[in-house]
Amino acid sequence: MYALYVPLILCLLLAYLAWKYLNGCFKYWQKLNVQYVKPVPFFGNSFQIFTSQVTIGELLGNLYKQFDAAFFGMYMLHKPVLVIRDPELIKKVLVKDFHHFHDRSVLYDEQCDAIASNMLFFSKSPEWKLIRYKVTPLFTTGKLKNMMDLCKEVANDMVSYLRSYDTTNCIDAKELGGRYATDAINSCTFGIKTNSFKSDKVSFYPMCKEILEFDWKTGFSQVAYFIAHGLVKTFKLRFFDYQTSNLLRKVFWDTLNERERTKIVRHDLIDAMIGFKNSPNLTESFQFEGDRILSIAVQVFTAGFETIGSTVSFALYELSIQRDIQEKLRSEINSTFLQYGSFDYLVIKHMRYLHMVVQETLRKYPILPFLERKCAKTYSIPEKNLIIDAGTPIYIPLLGLHYDPKYFKNPDNFDPERFADKKVDKTFYLPFGDGPRGCIGARFSLMAVKVALLYILREFEVKPSPSRTPTKIRFSPYSVFLSPSTGIYLKFKANRVVD
């Protein structure tokens, strides 16, 4: 009879020991006299994330509103995390004292996922600096001017696609933005025409959509790379599943091998990858070959796809509701065309209201809604009476900062006029991050988004559908990015084009 109770006693003992251990972990911020969010057993403050109720960015934004201090503590599972609210402290972490915070806290583990771990976003010191140095020349002003012509070709395809639709039907702006992003990125960086606005039988878009389609399984794995490293290592979770990884390898290497065979030089990402392949040793300990080369291409594609596609769809959504803003932007587009006769890189760069609309879109909808770093060595903030231990993750909640009425009056309103002052304070407006590890492709993404919007609005009036357009956009809980959980259905009515 006693033997029957042994397993139960052991389970209770293990549960007690686990509770005791976690309860000790949850004393960390209390011992440092730092305000913190009260944790729950086992999950800390991440229960809503793991149950797919909110994204990481939304959780941090909600917690931001509960405090008024410069920073506060929380727990991702049992791990203490410092969340920073103060703009000056944010600037120190991202820029001034970057040498203390040069790495991100997201997991790097080639044994679990070689492709994801070697993306620039995941890379650790010193490799990230070497890779960034090699990739930066791809986004110079001269290269961007050439890329803009390619974006304009894709925008013309998009306009033709819209013209072919019955104006009484709705079009999913999320899918429209995704198709545009697919063609623009592949044309500009890989030199291939992917025909996303033609039949899906000959289009690359369905495959791209499959690669970046988030469900509960991929969502769980990707969240774990940020906040549950032990789970990733124990169960060998992949950021990209096997099917996606193999698909990415095939597309990339087929394209690279064909470029080598034809010896065509375009001075784009593929040419740079060929250079890496032929001289792979960045350092004696870092061999730049295989999946490490592929990872750079995957970084450019995935980051660009989400940033360009989602920003275009969010902007069209807001402009469909704010008709006066849409008309003001269309007026700028038409007057600019009448003055210059075309849209080139410098012309678009000086379209002030277009830039303000894009800035406001990224304020309301920062595609990566939080920034994160890891403290590399003990860091003291004497004026705040705080010492940050080495290894502590640092989170910066953009959905808190971008919606704080101290910095943006009536933050829920879509109001491009708040950016009428050309100088934007980067201490609390951070859609592309800041400092040495800010987004390397920010200028390309902004240019591509602007081209899409001006080509659409020059020819079409965008309207909401009373029955299908959401009154408020909900975000997918399965993505670390800010991505709509459903389609954004809008109507596109042909306009009289100003010649």
- Using an 8 Å Cβ cutoff, are 41 and 22 in contact? yes
Residue holding tokens 């808190």? 400
> Is there a binding annotation on residue 439?
yes
Residue 385 Rama label (left phi>0; alpha psi -120 to 50; beta) = left
Q: CA–CA separation, 267 vs 20, rounded Å?
A: 59
Which residue type sits at 101?
F
- Give the three-state DSSP class for 409: coil
Name, in order, each residue with C-beta under 8 angstroms of 331's C-beta and a sequence gap of 6 or more: none
- Using an 8 Å Cβ cutoff, are 402 and 411 in contact? yes
Strand order in the sheet with 460-464: 171-172, 489-494, 460-464
Q: CA–CA separation, 23 vs 13, rounded Å?
A: 15
Task: Write down how long the chain is.
Answer: 499
Q: From 86, 130, 123, 92, select the one nearest 107 (Cα to Cα).
A: 123
Q: How far is CA 465 from CA 309, 321, 491, in A?
A: 21, 10, 6
- Using an 8 Å Cβ cutoff, are 176 and 182 in contact? no
Q: From 361, 435, 395, 358, select the one nearest 46 (Cα to Cα).
A: 395
Residue 341: half-sphere exposure toward Cβ, Cα within 13 Å:
0
Q: From 480, 430, 395, select the one nearest 74 (Cα to Cα).
A: 395
- Give the three-state DSSP class for 76: strand
Asked if the bond preceding 126 is cis, omega within 30° of 0, the reply is: yes
Which residue type sits at 428?
F
Query: Binding site for heme: what residues are annotated?
Result: 439
Which residues make up each annotated binding site?
Answer: 439
